[in-house]
Amino acid sequence: MTNKELAVKILELVGGKDNITAVTHCITRLRMTIKDSGIIKEDEIKKLPDVMGVNQVESQYQVILGPKVADVFFEFEPLVGKAKGNDEQAEKKGIGAMIIDTFTGIFTPILPAIIGAGLLKGVLLFLMFSNVVSAESDLYRVLSIFSDAAYYFLPFLLAASTATHFKCNRYIAMVIAGILLHPDLITMLGDGTVHRIFGIPITSASYGSSVLPIILSIVLMSYVEKFFAKVVPNILRTILVPLLTIIVMGIVTILLIGPAGTIISNALASNFLNFYVNYGVIAGALFAGFIPLMVMLGIHNGFTPVMVQSLATYGVEYLMGLNVASNSAQAGATFAVFLKTKNKDFKSMAGTAALNAILGITEPALYGVTMKLKRPLVGVCIGGAIGGAIAGFFHVTATGIATGPIIGIPLFITDTFIYFVISCAVAFVIAFAFVIITGFEDVKEEEYEEEIGDLTATAAVPAGETEISSPMTGTVVKMEDVKDNVFASKMMGDGIAVLPSEGKVFAPFDGEINVTFPTGHAVGIHGKNGCDVLIHVGIDTVKLEGKGFQYHIQNGDKVKKGDLLLEFDIPLIKEAGYDVTMPVIIVNTDSYKEITKTEAQTVQNGDDLLTVK
């Protein structure tokens, strides 16, 4: 299944673009804010290829896609487009969901810049310690500027992402960031003189690399801008709204929000550092031990602001070492499963997942291996906790943000590097040994094959030419001639109709029943070929409330071509005054370039009715 096809299918199964109020992604998850979670077809989403699992935190619905999430998001975002659901119509979020949504929305978009700059900083340190380059060389100094740029100008990045999240003008937001970092303001505040606006003194503060001041400022700006947009006449709005917003927010920011945000940021960073220094073993064990559970709940990104603030304030970060220790434990447990399992297909998957975990992408290992087998997950938590305790005891630091033990090595080249290596090695070995010693209930060959088979059957990509046989015997009717505008206009999809001569409906191909109704008047089938077909018995027959209809299947049943699906009483339906014409609808019409319809005037059950390409 291509990324675009996967994106289309996910959008369909979460209820369409009108059920989504916001969408973003992190390193492994497609994150959607949903209006009505009751219409999400979660079981079908889980069966899609490349979907490792799903998770919901209040109104945020997460589809876990692993390393290909960015590619799927690239296809998914245009599908949602401007027609996203209205936030005001969405159900109110709890404080937990709101905080997670905010952190994710603000920090996820800037992570590539932060990670890239951090890795460059780590590589530079490695090259300097290896005597490959000198700290006095022009090359080192220029590359050092490259690596520092993302951190010093962090307010610009945060201004853009915060404005996007709170739906205000990004360019005005970056002007506010520019005010805080303007060289003349920095010089003015550093000259030792007390400067005032309207008699109010401007507090001297350094805003380079700051986090909280600009976020708080842009949050307030989102309301100020909307206020001016409401009160300013339309003819002057383009000129006055930006002008008034910049003046008001510029003054409020340098007089109030900037200093207050700096004080709060420094206090938070200082208190966290003190706690970590004094209780490093406890903090390290708890954090690293529970990371897999936080990942399962999708709340691990809530710590990103803490890491970014620490880097901005101190130039080093402490949680990264704990995170990498947990990833090492995940890799160790998964590698043990790879060695012990007798299932060849599962062994291959576990090996790939272990490699991904070493590189920092743990979802394949977590959802595909350790959580699936349960006992190895215990080993991950124990190994992570012990590795985290070691990292906490020795106060392992990183100079940037990364995810895995291997790719993160340059970031940990500080005076605690040896303890970083020890913590990762211990976490890996303990988790590995736990799984080797305690074992697990292996996945049986036939069970795994059946699972893969089911997934393929449910999520195959429509490809090539597919024949759809007639589910009933009768006279062919063009879809445009059906006496119901919903069907005739092909609102539900293209297809053809049949006026039946006998009251039986048969499976048009091999597949799985995915739609049934309490009234028994229709049935949907999802084919192994990827085709979704809905067979509707009569027009408005739902009003019969089940009279005259009898299913021979139930939702989820596997069926073969020609199996009897349901029976219906033609005389009873006609006597009740209803048309018995039966539309046969290709629900996923958009997945096909060409649909060929039979030219025969009558068909028997099993005759060729439709061909899709």
Q: Which residue has the higher pLDDT, 403 or 120?
A: 120
Question: Cα–Cα distance between 395 and 379 in angstroms, integer?
Answer: 24
Tell me the pairing of strands 474-477 and 602-603.
Answer: antiparallel
The string of pLDDT tens digits covering residues 439-483 is 888 876 544 444 444 433 333 444 457 889 999 999 999 988 888
Same domain, 307 and 404: yes
Reported confidence tier of residue 96, pLDDT bands at 50, 70, 90: low
Residue 153 CB coordination number (10 Å): 17
**Band of the pLDDT at 302, cuts 50, 70, 90?**
low
**Co-location of 284 and 397 in the same domain:** yes
Q: Which residues contact 166 (CB under 8 A, 6 or more apart)?
A: 218, 219, 222
In this structure, is residue 125 part of a structural domain? no
Q: Of 45, 60, 92, at which residue does a domain stop?
A: 92
**Beta-bridge mates of residue 474:** 500, 603
**Do 288 and 427 share a domain, yes or no?**
yes
Can you tell me which residue has the tokens 């019969």? 544
Place of tokens 């070492």: 321
pLDDT at 206: 81
CB atoms within 10 A of CB 13: 20
418-443: average pLDDT: 92
Strand 474-477 relative to strand 29-34, pairing: unpaired
Q: What percent of the chain has pLDDT over 70?
A: 89
Count of CB atoms situated within 10 Å of the CB of 202: 17
Q: Specify whether 441 is located in the same domain as 495.
A: no
Q: Is residue 131 part of a domain?
A: no
In a domain, 104, yes or no: no
Neighbours of 380 (CB within 10 A): 35
Of 299-313, 354-368, 533-547, least confident by mean pLDDT is 299-313
Higher pLDDT, 364 or 245: 245
* pLDDT (mean) for 317-328: 87
Which range among 359-363, 428-432, 513-517 shows the weakest confidence by mean pLDDT?
359-363
User: At 584, which CATH number?
Assistant: 2.70.70.10
Per annotation, catalytic residue among 26, 168, 424, 531: 26
**Percent of the chain residues past pLDDT 90, beyond the cut:** 28
Measure the CA–CA gap between 576 and 570, rounded to whole angstroms.
10
AA identity, residue 267: A
Residue 106's closest CA among 147, 161, 173, 153?
Answer: 161
Q: Strands 558-559 and 511-516: what pairing?
A: antiparallel
Instruction: Pick the closest to residue 423 from 318, 355, 322, 320 (CA basis).
Output: 322
The answer on 299 and 374 residing in a single domain is yes
Token readout for 443 is 């996945």
Q: Do residue 420 and residue 400 come from a single domain?
A: yes
Instruction: Tell me, yes or no, whether 187 and 302 share the same domain.
Output: no
Residues 6+ away with beta carbon under 8 Å from 575:
none
| Sign of the CA dihedral running 100, 101, 103, 108 | positive
The total number of structural domains in the chain stands at 4
At 299 the pLDDT is: 62
Last residue of a domain, one of 255, 277, 299: 277
Q: At what angle do helices 69-80 and 3-13 cross, to 10 degrees?
A: 60
Sorting pLDDT into bands at 50, 70 and 90, what band is 89?
very low
Residues 414, 249: Cα–Cα separation, whole Å? 40
308 and 416 co-located in one domain: yes
CA distance 543 to 578: 9
Q: Does one domain contain both 312 and 369?
A: yes
* Residues 319, 432 within the same domain: yes
Q: Residue 402 phi/psi, 5° resolution? A: -140, -170
- The verdict on residue 452 lying in a domain is no
Residue 188's domain spans which residues?
Answer: 153-277
**What does the H/E/C string look like for 141-193?**
HHHHHHHHHHHHCHHHHHHHHHHHHCCCCHHHHHHHHHHHHCHHHHHHHCCCC
SS in 3 state form for 219-248? HHHHHHHHHHHHHCCHHHHHHHHHHHHHHH
Give the range among 103-107, 318-322, 387-391, 540-544 with minimum mean pLDDT: 103-107
Instruction: Rank 19-23, 125-129, 595-599 by mean pLDDT and report only the highest.
Output: 595-599
- The last residue of a domain, from among 92, 127, 145: 92
232 domain residue, yes or no: yes
26 catalytic residue (yes or no): yes
User: Do 366 and 332 share a domain, yes or no?
Assistant: yes
Rg (CA), the chain: 30
Residue 370 lies in a domain: yes
In a domain, 460, yes or no: no
Between 449 and 360, the more confident residue is: 360
Q: Round to whole Å and give the CA distance between 551 and 455.
A: 25
Q: Is 395 or 116 the better-scoring residue by pLDDT?
A: 395
Same domain, 300 and 416: yes
pLDDT tens-digit readout, 143-198: 989 988 888 898 999 999 999 888 899 999 999 999 999 999 888 887 778 888 88
Q: Determine, yes or no, domain membership for 457.
A: no
Query: SS3 for 597?
Result: strand
Q: Is residue 543 scored above 80 in pLDDT? A: no
